[in-house]
Structure 1
């Protein structure tokens, strides 16, 4: 009787128990440090490697990103479906084994992307397509389970926000180290080609180590039984449920905006520092201060979400981001101004990146409440499907724009080319940040109050279902 009363009080007040230790949070953060050591090399430097080292035309190089990322998007959906329908779940859990076993293949494929053989242009393009598509598929196998784990680690809303902040901190630390350390390693060698190979090798090894440390320090608290084998009809219902999940649809749309803007800026800043500022060391300063500012937003996001809806904090971050980038287009003519204004922009972006993983976990609960179907892997992979599309956009647009404005590698650029680089760096992201505010305001339906009501209702449903399942057993005992 006492346990029933406690459960009822918990449901009434939405006080889901706190299940995470500090070790779990740090372990999850380190996992995303490893993810970024392995993943960010492609987003930051691969386009520049293709155009300035391998000698691929910028438009052709951009097509590699477009095709490979569209492929990755479908790979995410396939991996999510596979994970949700796994039946032979061992003692390591439903998600953790993927983090362990995918690490080394992922590292080897990363090295292959920055080790293009001296083929013809056609041969180099074929190598680029195959290597990057295989890398993306392997990354899906590693990253979809990693992101899908949050609902199994905790059901406490505030704790999910905290865990998302830790993950964002790990992600941005990995990104900061990649931005600060990678190019100095590259330029320390007599040829940039050799420098790229050594730098990628170092980050690949560190990435594997971080993923294995993460595997050892995170756990799945809520272990669901292996699901029954779904029929095609049931799978169709699951996919239809995704389309009815309004928060998921809205969050996916805004991530196309924000994530494409973020990744495009990362790809273009190499060109901005070299050709507009004529100071390649500016990129290290940019990485240290601007990515460092994300840690500030990550640190204060849990406090903000205690006082405001996550939706409001998300829009506030985009407003800061847009204002700083508009100013940057006109004023970032020195290393100091670029670093200062980009730091403010990344402060705003930090709110969105911190909250994405908490919001997607909320979408899992909403989906179960709305349709009766709970599918962490499918929801997360649908979300990452749109993030991969945003990465395709971020890789495709710079190459096309650079070709249109007459960019020539390793040469003094024309005024048209310089204006194109400046616009890519600031205007695109400012427009996307404003568009995000509009979508979140009009289309994202979950407020904190509504989310708590949904969780409370789900808890009551589960208790009712459990009671109904026990009734036949009680009847048998009575007989």
Structure 2
């Protein structure tokens, strides 16, 4: 689908109506981007470890180490990409962020297929291929996905509108996850040779992912860009990279949401990676995974739907904590009570509903951290702020690949063995339920005691930034990065904390 190059940005101060409202076409269009990215990303998180252990014959610990090394690399790739994007002063042909997305999407799809298409070679050769293919895939994924996430602050500056965009994005993410969970293995099972089935299945999802991401780019508009806000001072020097990273360390809410996401996202991804083993070796039900995707992951959508309303009533932070508490209770009971496909689906419905509340708010909260960082330092770094957040997500994904592989190797997992040992069964069950509930507790601690932004505070920050922008445009003077003031600097304006 053709994407028109953006119109030249204006430096005029946006009105409240421009700042606050997006059309539903643009909102939903943005959400389709994460359906597409999840078609490309979830194949690795859901099925690549299983493909490595049962398809290629790699030891589970080796497969887990592939995830560990690749995801740690990805985390640093995110930071490098964020720095690169922030230091690019002029937008590309299609826009500041959309250009990166469009140029990376086809290579990303081809690399996904390469991960599930391993040439005939020795076990050592297959291991090297697995490392190289997944590391390169993650690097290209960083280019597109960091740019995609960085667009929210450029689309709207209203905190509630960002919450809506964040929820719609999470809805798209979970729709992609649901379709991937329900439809992938039935495609694989159409082939007697499962390795060929995996290749065909990922090819189908790769093509669909390209189409959806291109549609997203044609639907959204970048309005509030770095070029526009600095048009009055074209000679302004770039902020040194060391200074930019130092400023991130003084962004307290960013640290809070980053660690909270590290814990909660690792719990979510460990559960996704282990459920394919749980359904096969504990429930002995080949169709349980599809039922789990259809009903349990489907329960994320009600959470995504009510998250903006609930966050408006009790605040984003309290909504985040409430979701983790629901998830904790569901998995605690499930550890003892799940012994059938029906009971797994029932308790997973509650767990996924709980997880849907915090995950639907993450992206909007990171956008709020962008405003906080600019308010404190007068330096605006959308992409670097976003990539620093995704660095923690990549570390959680590394844990999600490494921990199950290491635990399965430790408890004596035997690939494709119908009857596993009691120790293996317990290890799979603990990974499925105990690990997530522990992570929920740590997430609640981070949101309660570290993250310190309410929606009222964010509105005050944006109003103050708008006032600074008017003053800057009037004086046309350069702005020098300032030292980071204390977290108690918020003026007394009646703003309440969540």
TM superposition score normalised by structure 1: 0.93
Structure 2 match to 1:34: 36
Deviations 1:308-335, CA, capped at 9 Å, x for gaps: 1100000000000011011111111110
Deviations 1:15-55, CA, capped at 9 Å, x for gaps: 87324111111111111000000000000000000000100
Measured in 1, the distance between the counterparts of 2:439 and 2:14 equals: 44
Measured in 1, the distance between the counterparts of 2:93 and 2:415 equals: 53
Unpaired stretches in structure 2, ≥5 consecutive residues: 1-12, 478-498
Report how far residue 91 of structure 1 moved.
4.7
C-alpha distance 230-426 of structure 1, shift in aligned 2 (>3 A):
farther
Structure 1 match to 2:244: 238
Task: Judge conservation of contact 1:27–1:213 (CA < 8 Å) in 2.
Answer: yes
Task: Judge conservation of contact 2:159–2:455 (CA < 8 Å) in 1.
Answer: no
Which residue of the other structure, out of 268, 273, 277, is the alignment partner of 2:279?
273
| 1:173 to 2:179 alignment | no
Is the partner of 1:208 in helix, strand or coil? helix
| 1:405 to 2:407 alignment | no
| 1:451 to 2:458 alignment | yes
Task: Judge conservation of contact 1:106–1:138 (CA < 8 Å) in 2.
Answer: yes
Is the partner of 2:360 in helix, strand or coil? helix
Which residue of the other structure, out of 73, 78, 81, is the alignment partner of 1:79?
81
Aligned positions of 1:241-260 closer than 5 A: 241-260=247-266
Report how far residue 9 of structure 1 moved.
10
Measured in 1, the distance between the counterparts of 2:112 and 2:206 equals: 7
| 1:213 to 2:219 alignment | no
Report how far residue 231 of structure 1 moved.
7.0
Measured in 1, the distance between the counterparts of 2:90 and 2:358 equals: 36
C-alpha distance 213-8 of structure 1, shift in aligned 2 (>3 A):
closer
Structure 1 match to 2:487: none
Structure 1 match to 2:424: 417
Q: Which protein is richer in helix relative to its size?
A: 1
C-alpha distance 223-277 of structure 1, shift in aligned 2 (>3 A):
same
Is the partner of 1:225 in helix, strand or coil? helix
| 1:329 to 2:335 alignment | yes
Measured in 1, the distance between the counterparts of 2:51 and 2:64 equals: 12
Measured in 2, the distance between the counterparts of 1:85 and 1:225 equals: 11
Structure 1 match to 2:370: 364
Measured in 2, the distance between the counterparts of 1:451 and 1:328 equals: 38
Which stretches of structure 1, 4 residues or more, deviate above 6 A after TM superposition? 226-233
C-alpha distance 257-121 of structure 1, shift in aligned 2 (>3 A):
same
Structure 2 match to 1:475: none
Measured in 2, the distance between the counterparts of 1:102 and 1:373 equals: 28
C-alpha distance 191-92 of structure 1, shift in aligned 2 (>3 A):
same
| 1:113 to 2:115 alignment | yes
Task: Name which of structure 1's ranges 214-223 and 46-55 shifts more when overlaid on structure 2.
Answer: 214-223
Report how far residue 8 of structure 1 moved.
12
Measured in 1, the distance between the counterparts of 2:433 and 2:246 equals: 37
Task: Name which of structure 1's ranges 97-106 and 230-239 shifts more when overlaid on structure 2.
Answer: 230-239
Measured in 2, the distance between the counterparts of 1:230 and 1:200 equals: 46
Which residue of the other structure, out of 48, 56, 70, is the alignment partner of 1:54?
56
Which residue of the other structure, out of 220, 223, 238, is the alignment partner of 2:225?
223
Is the partner of 2:476 in helix, strand or coil? helix
Task: Judge conservation of contact 1:68–1:132 (CA < 8 Å) in 2.
Answer: yes
Structure 1 match to 2:443: 436
Report how far residue 233 of structure 1 moved.
6.5
Task: Judge conservation of contact 1:275–1:413 (CA < 8 Å) in 2.
Answer: yes
Structure 2 match to 1:390: 396
| 1:344 to 2:350 alignment | yes
Task: Judge conservation of contact 2:157–2:462 (CA < 8 Å) in 1.
Answer: no
Deviations 1:179-212, CA, capped at 9 Å, x for gaps: 0000111112112111111101110111111111
Measured in 2, the distance between the counterparts of 1:459 and 1:467 equals: 12
Structure 2 match to 1:194: 196
Measured in 2, the distance between the counterparts of 1:456 and 1:56 equals: 56
Report how far residue 290 of structure 1 moved.
1.1
Which residue of the other structure, out of 301, 311, 314, is the alignment partner of 1:308?
314
Deviations 1:239-276, CA, capped at 9 Å, x for gaps: 10000000111111111101111011000000000000
Is the partner of 2:20 in helix, strand or coil? coil
Report how far residue 451 of structure 1 moved.
1.9
Measured in 1, the distance between the counterparts of 2:101 and 2:33 equals: 9
Structure 1 match to 2:300: 294
Deviations 1:413-458, CA, capped at 9 Å, x for gaps: 0000000000000000000011111111011111222222222222
Task: Judge conservation of contact 1:250–1:444 (CA < 8 Å) in 2.
Answer: yes
Task: Judge conservation of contact 2:265–2:393 (CA < 8 Å) in 1.
Answer: yes
C-alpha distance 245-188 of structure 1, shift in aligned 2 (>3 A):
same
Is the partner of 1:296 in helix, strand or coil? helix
Measured in 1, the distance between the counterparts of 2:14 and 2:156 equals: 19
Structure 2 match to 1:130: 132
Q: Aligned-residue CA RMSD in angstroms? A: 1.8
Measured in 1, the distance between the counterparts of 2:284 and 2:236 equals: 58
